[in-house]
Amino acid sequence: MELLIVRDRRIDYDGSAIRSHWAYRNFGLLGNSLVVFRGSCNVKIEEMVDIEDLRLQNEIKSDDMVHYIIEIFDFVNPLFASTLQKLFIAKLCEVLSEYGIKTERKGDDIYVNGKKLSISIATISPVSVKIHIGINVEARGVPEGVDAIGLRELGITDVEEFMERTGRAIVEEFNKVKKDSLKVRWVQ
Q: Applying CB under 8 A, which residues contact a second copy?
A: 18-21, 24-25, 28, 30-31, 49-52, 54-55, 73-75, 77-87, 90-91, 93-94, 105, 107-108, 121-127, 130, 173, 176-188
24 versus 153: smaller Cβ distance to a second copy: 24
77 versus 157: smaller Cβ distance to a second copy: 77
CA distance linking residue 129 with residue 23, whole number of Å: 13
Q: State the minimum distance, in angstroms, from the CB of residue 111 to a second copy.
A: 12
Q: State the minimum distance, in angstroms, from the CB of residue 160 to a second copy.
A: 25
Q: Are 151 and 159 in contact (CB under 8 A)?
A: yes
Q: State the minimum distance, in angstroms, from the CB of residue 36 to a second copy.
A: 20
CA distance linking residue 180 with residue 95, whole number of Å: 21
16 versus 157: smaller Cβ distance to a second copy: 16
Q: Could you give the 3-state DSSP secondary structure of residue 15?
A: coil
Among 107, 119, 98, smallest CA distance to 166 is for: 98
65 versus 81: smaller Cβ distance to a second copy: 81
What sections of 61-131 are H helices per DSSP? 78-98
Task: Tell the burial category of 53 from Cβ atoms under 10 Å away from its Cβ (0-12, 13-18, 19+).
Answer: middle
Q: State the minimum distance, in angstroms, from the CB of residue 108 to a second copy.
A: 7
126 versus 155: smaller Cβ distance to a second copy: 126
Name, in order, each residue with C-beta under 8 angstroms of 54's C-beta and a sequence gap of 6 or more.
45, 48
Q: Taking the alpha carbons of 113, 117, 119, 122 in that order, is the dihedral positive or negative?
A: negative
Q: State the minimum distance, in angstroms, from the CB of residue 177 to a second copy.
A: 5
Q: State the minimum distance, in angstroms, from the CB of residue 182 to a second copy.
A: 5
Task: Pick left, alpha or beta for residue 107 (phi over 0 → left; psi -120 to 50 → alpha; otherwise beta).
Answer: left
